[in-house]
Amino acid sequence: MKRFFGAALLLLAVHAAHADSDDTLSSNPAISQQALVSTIRLAPGSLPATMRAYGQIQAAPGAEMTITLAADGIVAALPVAPGERVMAGDVLAMITPDAPSVAERRKAFNALAAARAQRVHVASLRASRLATVADLAAADQVLADAAASLTALERTGAGVARVVRAPQAGIVSSVLASPGSAQPAGAELLRIIGDDALVAVVGVTPAQASAMRPGDAARLTILGTGTILAGRLTRLAAMTDAQTGLIGVTLAAPGAALLGAPVEADITTGILTGYVVPRDAVQTDEQGDYAFQLDPHDIAHRVAVRVLGTQGDQTVLAPDLNAALPLVTTGAYQLDDGAAVRLAPPSGPAF
């Protein structure tokens, strides 16, 4: 019986001790209501200064190549359509000769044959001293002219069926003729934009444009596909667009990109130097941007900050803070000026 009462008293003592420890925390509101925060030590750092803009993939100025008809003919077929990608040598159009071209080519053949016969005849007369040296030279000239005329027709393909091929790889931007139509020499059949002539054109505000220079590097993201390209600023317009009020910026965009594809551009304009901190350390209200620093007694003090720039989850602050005081990061959103805080245990290396 004594053993039973002894064990019961021991259990009651343990329970009372545990209850006392819980009551110590719950009975002290000053401790239980303190916000749990994480901090970092301020140290100088830098990030690229970037500006984001949006636009689309377009043809570079003057990059469109017009495919024309070298000689009169009839468009028998156009096996390509606008927006289609072609390789060098691909068939763009099939041309059949029209009646006048056939007749002109036959006339040129006949003229050459006649000039050759005439030259043989004059040469025989000269051998008999019935023709002069000048007569033979004149016959030679007529023969040369006839041969040149036929060669010119053959080079253009006049009078014969022919195939028009792509001079280089690119994208068919427009088809200007229709199958079955008779076209004169020099008529425009279609236009091609070379693969190496595509650029990204984005719009920026005048304030953003003032910080940009030709040669600035850019990171291009093709929206929809997520394709990332390395670009470079090649041209900055000198006037704003009448409709958008933005300034056009042309970025070289090497690599595979679809004409007309929407693009997001992050243009690097320099380097931002200051205190690099997590983005969630900075709060904003009607008074502006601010953060919290802790004094030696773990009391949070609101301090105004100047944000120089942000990239991803990092922000660069102007270096006019007290670097001796830690800066609150996680938990800053729940603080008020003068609030006492509890520090979270470190979970890894300092930021």
DSSP state of 340: B
User: How many other CB atoms sit within 10 Å of the CB of residue 239?
Assistant: 8
| pLDDT (0 to 100) of residue 83 | 86
Q: Over pLDDT 70: what percentage of the chain?
A: 88
Looking at the 3D structure of the chain, how many domains does it have? Answer: 3
Per-residue pLDDT tens over the stretch 64-82:
889 999 999 999 999 999 9
d(CA 81, CA 58): 18
2: buried, middle or exposed (CB in 10 Å: 19+, 13-18, 0-12)? exposed
Q: What CATH number should be reported for the domain holding residue 255?
A: 2.40.30.170
Specify if 204 maps to a domain: yes
Q: Are residues 204 and 262 in the same domain?
A: yes
- My answer on whether 72 and 152 are in the same domain is no
Comparing CA positions, the residue from 187, 235, 238, 242 lying closest to residue 58 is 235
Helix, strand and coil percent figures for the chain, each rounded to 5? 25, 40, 35
Residue among 284, 281, 280, 294 at smallest CA distance from 322: 294
* Domain shared by 258 and 112, yes or no: no
Residues 202 and 246 both lie in one domain:
yes
**Helix H or strand E encompassing 224:** none
Same domain (yes/no): 166, 86? yes
The pLDDT tens digits for 238-290 are 999 999 999 999 999 776 677 888 999 999 999 999 999 999 999 999 999 99
On whether both 182 and 264 belong to a single domain, the answer is: no
The average confidence (pLDDT) of the chain is 86
**Residue 89 is assigned to a structural domain of this protein:** yes
Q: Which residues contact 260 (CB under 8 A, 6 or more apart)?
A: 56, 57, 58
Q: Which range is least confidently modeled, 23-27, 34-38, 89-93, 146-150?
A: 23-27
Strand pairing report for 35-37 and 341-343: parallel
Token pair in block for residue 80:
């390509």
Q: Is residue 329 part of a domain?
A: no
CB 85 within 8 A of CB 193: no
Q: What is the DSSP letter of 332?
A: G
Nearest in space to 329 (alpha carbons), one of 320, 317, 319: 317
Per-residue pLDDT at 12 exceeds 50: no
Q: pLDDT tens digits for 92-119?
A: 999 999 999 899 999 999 999 999 999 9
Identify whether residues 85 and 230 lie together within a single domain. no
Distance CA 309, CA 49 (A): 7
- Residue 331's Cβ-side half-sphere holds a number of Cα atoms within 13 Å equal to 18
For residue 15 the two structure tokens come to: 């329970």
Tell me which of 253, 271, 289 is where a domain ends: 271
Same domain, yes or no, for 205 and 264?
yes
Residue 323 DSSP label: T
- Do residues 56 and 203 share a domain? yes
Q: Does residue 175 share a domain with residue 90?
A: yes
Asked whether residue 220 is domain-assigned, the answer is yes
CA distance 248 to 200: 10
Helix ranges, the chain (H) = 2-26, 29-32, 99-127, 133-156, 206-209
Rounded alpha-carbon distances, angstroms, from residue 222 to 86, 145, 170, 255, 312: 21, 58, 19, 11, 18
Q: Using the 8-state DSSP alphabet, how is residue 309 labeled?
A: E
Tokens of 91: 């068939």
Instruction: Verify that 104 and 132 share a domain, yes or no.
Output: yes
Task: Tell me if 246 is assigned to some domain.
Answer: yes
Q: With respect to residue 249, please indicate whether it lies within any of the assigned structural domains.
A: yes
Structural domain span for residue 110: 99-156
